[in-house]
Copies of this chain bind each other. A is one copy, B any other.
Amino acid sequence: MVGIREVAEAAGVSMSTVSQVVTGNRPVSAATRARVEEAITRLGYRAHPGAAQLRGGRTGTVALIVPTLENPFYPLVAAGMQDVLVPRDLLLTVTDASSLDRSASAIHRLLTRRVDAMVAAPFGLPPAGLAEVHDAGIPFVTLGQAPPGGGDYVHTNDVDGAYKVTEHLIERGRRRIAFLGGDEGVTPTRQRLEGYEKALRAAGLPVREEHVVCTRYTRQGGRDGANLLLDRDEAPDAIVAANDLIAFGVLDVARGRRLRVPEDLALTGYDDLEASSLVTPPLTTIMNPAREIGRACARLLLERLDGQVSDITRGVALSNSLVVREST
């Protein structure tokens, strides 16, 4: 077992000096550093992460918590985080909230002292867990809104995105535009709904309660919601789905009911998953830069970890954009 001791001997310095070279905690003269580094590579030394954590407190692992791994959006966020984490030798742990559902403190149990920092997707974290993370006192980044207890966030303007897509439908001449949301009350749903309503009002169109339905952010949720909406007295001639998965469910229903898209029913999604360009008709949607979002999260965490940042909450805004395809 080659430890810090062996390196120190080989380089003719003390163990602490080796540690300082490795961690960069204190300045070391160039000559000494060179000798030590040479010894490190020659001996193939790797710090023992457990020992390092025990004394130093850092685990070298970062957590990402997402609501589900079945929505391909989140793995892309993970990939983005990897882009910046891997060069820093940090490990990424991905956990989907659905596997944690059983107990409220599962997250706590799973993560305390096992990660240095954490990013949580909207409603990836049950409210109880949020508090626990906060008083774990680790850097914390959320997607979409500022963490209640303070921390950073990465954000795309959902109000604006939903506005754009609704406006687009109005320009296409639609008048009975419905909104099909995912899980009710969560931030993305609220904001996208807000953008939708805003666009309707801006065009002087009424916001009808019977044209707003919330289900879940899944394909099945889309099916359920579409069936509800299409059975209304005055069926919509367009649906703004709160994400692509939902829109796919709407497509299923439209196909089943022999509705032509976009002629009988125009449809928009949100996120721009790979599959959005594959369905028939290809989906008009809002491009959400998943991978870039992941990168931004990781960068924020890194800055906190490096201690370059004070206590202020910081927000990074990334832009989304309307992608017009054939579903409208």
Contact = CB atoms under 8 A, between A and B. Distances in A.
A85 to B, nearest CB: 8
A92 B94 contact: yes
A257 B92 CA distance: 43
A76 B69 contact: yes
B75 A89 contact: no
Contact of A248 (B50, B109, B278): B278
Nearest to A53: B50
A43 interface: no
A251 to B, nearest CB: 7
Interface in A73-109: 74-76, 78-79, 82-83, 86-87, 89, 91-96, 99-100, 102, 106, 109
Contact of A94 (B51, B53, B87, B94): B94
A325 interface: no
Copies of this polypeptide in the complex: 2
Given A89-B109, A93-B91, A69 B61 contact: no
A101 B234 CA distance: 55
A94 B70 contact: no
Which residue among A46, A69, A251 has the maximum number of chain B CB atoms within 10 Å of its CB? A69
A262 to B, nearest CB: 14
Contact of A93 (B61, B74, B83): B61
Nearest to A111: B91
Q: What is the size category of the interface that chain A forms with chain B?
A: 35 or more
A60 B96 contact: no
Contacts of A111: 91
A211 to B, nearest CB: 25
Contact of A50 (B52, B100, B278): B52
A112 interface: yes
A114 B46 CA distance: 11
A299 interface: no
Contact of A275 (B51, B83, B87, B278): B278
Contacts of A72: 72, 75
A248 B275 CA distance: 9
Interface in A107-153: 109-114
A206 interface: no
A187 interface: no
B53 A49 contact: yes
Interface in A13-50: 46, 48-50
A259 to B, nearest CB: 15
Nearest to A278: B279
A59 interface: yes
A96 B91 CA distance: 11
A70 B79 contact: yes
Name the 5 nearest CB pairs between A and B, nearest first. A50-B53, A280-B280, A275-B275, A50-B54, A69-B79
Interface of A: 46, 48-54, 59-61, 68-70, 72, 74-76, 78-79, 82-83, 86-87, 89, 91-96, 99-100, 102, 106, 109-114, 219, 248, 251, 274-275, 278-280
